[in-house]
Structure 1
């Protein structure tokens, strides 16, 4: 439960219709099984103590009384279980029979939530047996004690304030205005649904989309426990399919037609952070009543998986679709800018590296959209002290293959003159030596753009901007930065996607060789003709930095939490000391380099994370990193 993670579970017991004692034993058995796995919130299906398909047997006093007695037994026999447990049963109150979710914890029934929307169509006849719980707010009597009874109850963990839970039952989710919307507005971060949803062809996909969609719409966790095998098959079949979702992401899904338990580690810190960020998320406690309960705060053994490349879809089809979409967004952004300034020419500095390659590909697509000839794209290669034959050759061949105009401007002599003017020793390969080359290249590009009445297209990517790995007023500057919100790990996939789909074998070969070239600014002389300055040796692996960036900026994780999930995600790749080293480097660079991001040129937003000072990141340039580094030091 530390760092916001709470293990939740949805269980489908093997019920016998109208056999409350058997069902109670099965529920207790599954509670014990979930306890061993560390689940702190446990959810069972609708009417699971009796079975959902009892039909007119629900009118039998014996069945209703037996269900009530079995609930008391379940409560007593699980009093030592450290969890909040939801079980379904028929319950008589004030002369009416309700379909309720009983919330149980530490030997006490905390409250009963009656179902509001009772289906009475198709194969469902619930209004024949049950009353709606809409507007009910009362006290019921169970085993001689008063129990809260109503549809507006939120169960709040006193020693973990972000764990707030509310319940709805089956059909409540399927209606036009689900009760869970009000639950979430009143402060519930987790919605549990006790369900008995029968099977039909295609219904599983719709059920899954409902749960995912509701968790996204309400920015919450959602646990859906469905009835399964054991219910009467007189006219219906129940297939289980338990689901756990968090803010639109499916954390766990049970197999259909198989009674089982599914587990998920819901991140309540992330849910709270996301709600704070969304200023349109409406909060209204209204007439809701908070019901306190307490759990032991302990480490949650994580089973949840975190994508090592959170900016890149793992599914190949989704990845291809995403790549094509991003290329279009980049091209459409540049298209609008060129059309607005009545520009018919563009200037791109082409180095033979990944970023400039992507920028040139995007520019070519843009000119195709505008109906402009590609020869109006001026691709400028500017060899200097660190340029290798491999990158130079790729830059030239790529430009020719795309049909752009190639211009070579050797800047060695201009940089040497500059060294003389400022008294820089050419043998001293310091930051001045490197940045003088980068600024000279930018000056050349800007002046060539003036000559041809064109626009300089920037090549720097999101990862470089996050780390400040750009020369201020050098490659940091352009007239429109098409890659500004594309992280390095995604740049690779975009170029690879283009290589696979361009239907030009030679172009594909060039792009694949670019992908195989080490990432480098090539500002230091090569060694034996090979790149001597490898970026990832200096600032760290981009796959780690992109992982850090996503979970820090998009999700709002603390350094300790990022370190924890990074160690879990990359345990087969990096040791913990290496991860900690680069995480410290990431925070130090991110905070110290904000001044560069405060004056970025325009560029299109393609994903949920950007560092534009006009968009997603409003950060002071002089913010202190001490709090974040201190937390890492404490480890």
Structure 2
């Protein structure tokens, strides 16, 4: 299996009403195309072997027999086809006629899934012909005795995590769809065989219905809709097929088209998500039918966003940024009000993180109706501070009407070096961390002096990599950026720039153009920043990608590596991705002790490293398993 990915399809054939032979050939053509494209499972629309719009012809034995003969022919042709197929047809069982999905693979009819909820209102009148599906019974079709029931789950013994359930059209639109029980019985992929007529506004509702059902059930949901060829006597069918996974639409057909809509679903991600959720319940009460296929070779078409923490859509991104800023400010507002603090002390460097934190503090003060003079913005130039960053820190504080204080730390740190016998020409970790700890001491003492709170500025990416000084900048009284990754910090500052006044915009754009740096080593001779963080620890966009898929879904380093190659194609080669992936895991494991001592701070997204919330990890856990897998890449 390709890292847990599996290609599935919703197929909309062009049909002719009541022409079973024509419909058989149309279905067979798309089944062959499925195999060529590496599709493992495909669903065709409701009653597609006859057409959904046959009306009273469903009472005619010739039509019912024609549909059965068409299915028998498909079974015979598909004996060597490596594809699980679900096709809609009317099936007569004794005195009952069921609207069914026939499920078959390699010529074997595995079972029949009947429609449970028969609409009989407005344009629908299915109860005129069909019987609601039973929980379970035996049926004879195409000369074979097979199970018929609404609680059948088809489990693939050869592909881990691949279990299929089916429901038909209206079954999804009712308050308690059969797919709920099917998913809780182990189905990870739900197919819906549908003939949903098109009216104004229905497509968006249908899309949301499929998307949300996939999220509720933590499954892949594939909705195959009828289209070209259904009768237009009173209704129009547009072939609107949708494939969603765990709340996200992966693929959607153009309306009024036929053919295949395919998507690569991630079975491993679904299984991991169900394992993570302690409220997920596996009932295991369905009738399970086993089948087997060889995993098809297929080209992975699924795209992975290079910045998973950042929405692709510009409008969504703006809304997300505004919401995050409000969440940060609301958390700080509550803490300030609870402690009765009228002062917030924040170290400002002119870099991205402290800029974002200062903007959040100002917003929190606005929510409380407090004067910005209660914000004490402190810059503490050291051995690596440049005029550019120091100037931007002051300009931002002044623009926000905060109090600005400069406390140079060079002399204090130099005296400290004398006290501990450290040669200042030795620019090692002691040289760097002494400055960070001196700054923290200054901030803490100023907070005591002014009856305020020290506001932490460190972000999620730095916490993941341990790129923070223990008992230094990792410490604060409330860390507003603690669950925001560096890639998102950049977009939040940009959002503040484009939504703020022109003077603020120019200032924030210069902050965005400044290289990320702790500025702990002396600058270049021309005054430019010498110490660039991403030259040392690696690109933050890669680390944020690794962090998201490692923490959110528990993916292996190998899978994350291959996803990164796809997401960053043309930007980073395999050797570069492997290098920084190894560095990420090394740093993540060795720096857990720092995260175990984190101060309070608000969770704003699905990934957080708070030891009180999302992430509990022993500080002495070994990274050997992960490192060995990376070495083998």
Does the CA-based 8 Å contact 1:100-1:114 persist in structure 2?
Answer: yes
1:262-341 correspondence to structure 2 within 5 Å: 262-286=261-285, 288-297=286-295, 299-341=297-339
Structure 2 partner of 1:358? 356
Structure 1 partner of 2:176? 177
Distance 1:621 1:168 in 2: 48
Aligned to 2:229, the other structure's residue is in SS state: coil
Structure 2 partner of 1:105? 105
When the two structures are aligned, how many residues end up with a matched partner? 632
1:385-534 correspondence to structure 2 within 5 Å: 385-502=383-500, 504-527=501-524, 528-534=526-532
CA offsets 1:365-412 (integer angstroms, 9 cap, x no match): 010111110011000000010001110110111110111000000000
Structure 2 partner of 1:608? 606
Distance 1:299 1:545 in 2: 30
Could you tell me which of 535, 542, 556 is aligned with 1:537?
535
Report the CA distance between 1:629 and its aligned residue: 1.1
Distance 2:104 2:541 in 1: 44
Q: Unaligned 5+ residue runs, structure 1?
A: none
Report the CA distance between 1:32 and its aligned residue: 0.7
Q: Unaligned 5+ residue runs, structure 2?
A: none
Distance 1:629 1:222 in 2: 35
Report the CA distance between 1:299 and its aligned residue: 4.9
Does the CA-based 8 Å contact 1:550-1:609 persist in structure 2?
Answer: yes
Aligned to 1:361, the other structure's residue is in SS state: helix
1:97-246 correspondence to structure 2 within 5 Å: 97-135=97-135, 137-246=136-245
Distance 1:580 1:161 in 2: 27
Does the CA-based 8 Å contact 1:2-1:298 persist in structure 2?
Answer: no
Does the CA-based 8 Å contact 1:323-1:497 persist in structure 2?
Answer: yes
TM-score by length of 2: 0.99
Structure 2 residue 11 is matched with structure 1 residue 14: no
Structure 1 partner of 2:73? 73
Aligned to 1:101, the other structure's residue is in SS state: strand
Does the CA-based 8 Å contact 2:381-2:408 persist in structure 1?
Answer: yes
Distance 2:455 2:549 in 1: 29
Aligned to 1:78, the other structure's residue is in SS state: helix
Aligned to 1:490, the other structure's residue is in SS state: helix
Distance 2:206 2:503 in 1: 47
Distance 1:43 1:585 in 2: 44
Structure 2 partner of 1:89? 89
Distance 1:161 1:311 in 2: 29
Distance 2:122 2:436 in 1: 71
Aligned to 1:168, the other structure's residue is in SS state: strand
Structure 2 partner of 1:62? 62
CA RMSD of aligned residues (A): 0.8
CA offsets 1:64-84 (integer angstroms, 9 cap, x no match): 001001001011112111111
Does the CA-based 8 Å contact 1:113-1:167 persist in structure 2?
Answer: yes
Distance 1:460 1:66 in 2: 69
Does the CA-based 8 Å contact 2:30-2:259 persist in structure 1?
Answer: no
CA 1:298/1:417 → structure 2, altered by over 3 Å: closer, same or farther?
A: farther
CA offsets 1:145-185 (integer angstroms, 9 cap, x no match): 21111111100010223000000000000001100000011
Distance 1:134 1:340 in 2: 59
Distance 1:299 1:282 in 2: 33
CA offsets 1:40-71 (integer angstroms, 9 cap, x no match): 01110000000100010011101000100100
Structure 2 partner of 1:253? 252
Aligned to 1:167, the other structure's residue is in SS state: strand
Distance 1:319 1:345 in 2: 32
Distance 2:504 2:203 in 1: 44
Aligned to 1:290, the other structure's residue is in SS state: strand
Aligned to 1:53, the other structure's residue is in SS state: coil
Structure 2 partner of 1:26? 26
Report the CA distance between 1:428 and its aligned residue: 0.4
Distance 2:204 2:2 in 1: 34
Aligned to 2:315, the other structure's residue is in SS state: helix
Does the CA-based 8 Å contact 2:593-2:619 persist in structure 1?
Answer: yes
Distance 2:422 2:101 in 1: 77
Distance 1:11 1:206 in 2: 20
Report the CA distance between 1:507 and its aligned residue: 1.5
Distance 1:592 1:76 in 2: 59
Aligned to 1:261, the other structure's residue is in SS state: strand
Aligned to 1:79, the other structure's residue is in SS state: helix
Report the CA distance between 1:415 and its aligned residue: 0.2
1:549-568 correspondence to structure 2 within 5 Å: 549-568=547-566
Aligned to 1:52, the other structure's residue is in SS state: coil
Report the CA distance between 1:297 and its aligned residue: 2.9
Distance 2:144 2:301 in 1: 39
Report the CA distance between 1:134 and its aligned residue: 3.2
Does the CA-based 8 Å contact 2:82-2:296 persist in structure 1?
Answer: no
TM-score by length of 1: 0.99
Distance 1:240 1:560 in 2: 38
Does the CA-based 8 Å contact 2:38-2:296 persist in structure 1?
Answer: no
Does the CA-based 8 Å contact 1:5-1:300 persist in structure 2?
Answer: no
Report the CA distance between 1:217 and its aligned residue: 0.3
Report the CA distance between 1:132 and its aligned residue: 0.4
Distance 2:298 2:397 in 1: 53
Structure 2 partner of 1:378? 376
Does the CA-based 8 Å contact 1:446-1:456 persist in structure 2?
Answer: yes
Distance 2:529 2:580 in 1: 23
Report the CA distance between 1:144 and its aligned residue: 2.3
Distance 2:392 2:19 in 1: 75
Distance 1:295 1:345 in 2: 66
CA offsets 1:521-546 (integer angstroms, 9 cap, x no match): 00000002000000000011000110
